[in-house]
Amino acid sequence: MTEVSTLSILALGFLLGLRHAVEADHVAAVSTIASESPSILGSSFVGALWGIGHTLSLLIAGAAIVLFHFEISARMSLVLEFVVGLMLIALGLNALRKLLHGGHLHMHVHQHGGRAHAHPHFHGGAHETDVQGSHHGVKLQRRPIVIGMIHGLAGSGALMLLVLSTIQQPFVALLYVLIFGIGSTGGMMIMSALIGLPAKLTAQRFARANVILRGVAAGCSIALGMFITVRNWPL
């Protein structure tokens, strides 16, 4: 394999990763979390965490395929797709639960350098389970990582792993997976920021519109999840 063809394969992996991030089930799953953060930075961070989980599962599966010649059967792909559908339904229902059980927005005022400025915060009810990482809305959450790991083995992520069998050099094959993951992470960070933009604008001035926005994201997640589960049933 020449250097030119290797670079071409890696460049293709990056572009496919960017495209992979904007698939409907990925955007639906991440939007239910990203729309809860009235901060563009926080929404982008959700996309980054999704990308970390997504890339991690792809690297593990890729190593199993390249080093141990493991194969993902057609039935296993259907099972993973079915799990993605259930996950989307669960994420949507959880988002609706937060809206119906006292979720609210408020402005939190801080002093920095003698200047007072406010940040919008969302609280999902009486108890919050997420770990607060910053008063600017960036939270270290496990959900996006788990979602990314499940997505990494389902759908076109599984199809991407089939490409590895056509790459003769194991190092190049695993590097392809890594580049694909980087592209997916970048694409999802951009999508999450775009999702977070209307959430930030509505959180600051239009609390009711913010609730509607998050309700729509939850509804879309449930609808798409039901479609995927029905499509893959029976397995």
d(CA 79, CA 83): 6
CB 62 within 8 A of CB 174: yes
Measured CA angle at 76 (ends 30, 92), to 5 deg: 25
Compute the CA torsion angle 104, 31, 188, 156 (nearest 10 deg): 160
Instruction: Tell me: cis bond preceding 144? Omega within 30 of 0 counts.
Output: no
The whole-model pTM stands at: 0.77
Q: Where are the alpha helices (DSSP H) in the chain?
A: 3-21, 24-34, 40-68, 74-100, 143-152, 156-162, 170-205, 207-231
d(CA 83, CA 218): 17
CB 40 within 8 A of CB 196: yes
Tokens of residue 17, six digits: 């990763």
d(CA 18, CA 143): 21
Which of helix, strand or coil describes residue 111? strand
From first to last of the 235 residues of the chain, give the pLDDT tens digit: 456 588 888 888 899 888 888 888 889 988 888 877 767 888 899 999 999 999 999 888 888 888 887 777 778 888 888 999 999 999 999 999 988 875 554 444 555 555 554 444 545 444 444 434 444 445 557 889 999 998 887 766 666 666 776 787 888 888 998 999 999 999 999 999 988 888 777 766 677 777 888 899 999 999 999 999 999 887 5
